[in-house]
Amino acid sequence: MKLHYFYDPLCGWCYGASPLLQAAAALPGVSVEMHAGGMIDEEEGRVITADWRAYVMPHDKRIAQMSGQPFGDAYYDGLLNDIGAPLASNPPIAAVLAADTLGILPLAMLARIQRAHYQEGRRIAEFSVLSELATELGADAASFQTAWQSARDEAETHIDDTRRQMGRLGLRGFPSVVLEQDGKLERLELSGWLGKPAQLAAALAERLPKAESVDDALFCTPDSCR
């Protein structure tokens, strides 16, 4: 079973859904393929303003209530008051792509970026922050810088491809998940699972092929195997 996860690092509902994706990815036989959508393009030059703070605050509180995900004081009282701080999806998307080339699970890198933004109130559009997060997860700083710079161009192609796929699949926004199994695609709506990662994992596990039962136990002793 494969889950196609359509996300953006600056999507609050994606942060709310993070435990669901991590629970699904932990299941044997389940893989997660990530598709970043570039919700806030770097070329727009968007920054945090008082209007942005007023816009996201009620949404963030609803996300926290429904998902149980924590939003830190450093985010509410720090970052959202950091007028002029850059808002851009492209740099953290490139960081997720770069982490993958260095052997860091993309979902783990995304979760760390989300935590840095929504709990620690850090500027995730800045390379210095992204580099610190990657090194926390085991990347060599110089290797990450090289990989990130290479991923900057790749991110543009990746985002374009994601948007084409979303259009073809009829997906309207983030987060969106499409389940692929036995050659079939099926939309998996996450809204009803928010705050229930264990229940989602159990539901997905029920859809995985069951191991064939055997009448006699198979085991080895010091003398023989059967």
- The average pLDDT across 181-190 equals 93
**What pLDDT score was predicted for residue 103?**
95
> Would the pLDDT of 87 be above 80?
yes
- The per-residue pLDDT for 218 is 42
Evaluate the CA torsion angle 161, 114, 5, 136 in order and state its sign.
positive
pLDDT of residue 111: 98
- CA proximity to 136, closest of 113, 119, 155: 113
* 46 has pLDDT over 80: yes
Cα(51)–Cα(62) distance, rounded to whole angstroms?
18
Percent of the chain with pLDDT over 90: 89
Rounded Cα distance between 111 and 105, Å, is 10
Residue with tokens 């052997």: 103
Dihedral (CA of 120, 97, 189, 203) sign: negative
pLDDT for residue 208: 83
What would the mean pLDDT of 22-40 be, rounded to a whole number? 95
Bigger pLDDT: 10 vs 217:
10
Residue type at 171 in one-letter notation: L
Q: Which residue has the higher pLDDT, 212 or 46?
A: 46
- Flag whether pLDDT at 69 surpasses 90: yes
pLDDT (mean) for 101-113:
97
Q: Give the pLDDT score at 209.
A: 76
Residue 36 pLDDT exceeds 60: yes
In contact, 9 and 36? CB cutoff 8 Å: yes
Q: What is the pLDDT of residue 210?
A: 63
Q: What is the mean pLDDT of the chain?
A: 92
Burial class (CB in 10 A: 0-12, 13-18, 19+), 205: middle
Residue 47 binned pLDDT confidence (cut-offs 50, 70, 90):
very high
pLDDT value, residue 25: 96
Confidence of residue 207 (pLDDT cuts 50, 70, 90): confident
Cα 195 to Cα 65: distance, rounded to the nearest angstrom: 9
- 130-158 confidence digits (pLDDT tens): 999 999 999 999 999 999 999 999 999 99
Q: Are strands 2-7 and 176-181 parallel, antiparallel or unpaired?
A: antiparallel
Mean pLDDT over 87-96 rounds to: 98
User: Exposed, middle or buried, 15 (CB in 10 Å: 0-12/13-18/19+)?
Assistant: buried
Q: Which residues contact 97 (CB under 8 A, 6 or more apart)?
A: 36, 106, 151, 154, 155, 158
CB 30 within 8 A of CB 208: yes
Grouping H, G, I as helix, E, B as strand and the rest as coil, residue 186 is strand
pLDDT digits (tens, 9 = 90+) for 116-133: 999 999 999 999 999 999
The mean per-residue pLDDT over the stretch 9-35 comes to 96
Cis peptide leading into residue 28 (ω within 30°): no
Residues 98, 151 contacting (CB under 8 angstroms): yes
CA dist 180 → 46, 165, 186, 188 (Å)? 35, 14, 7, 10
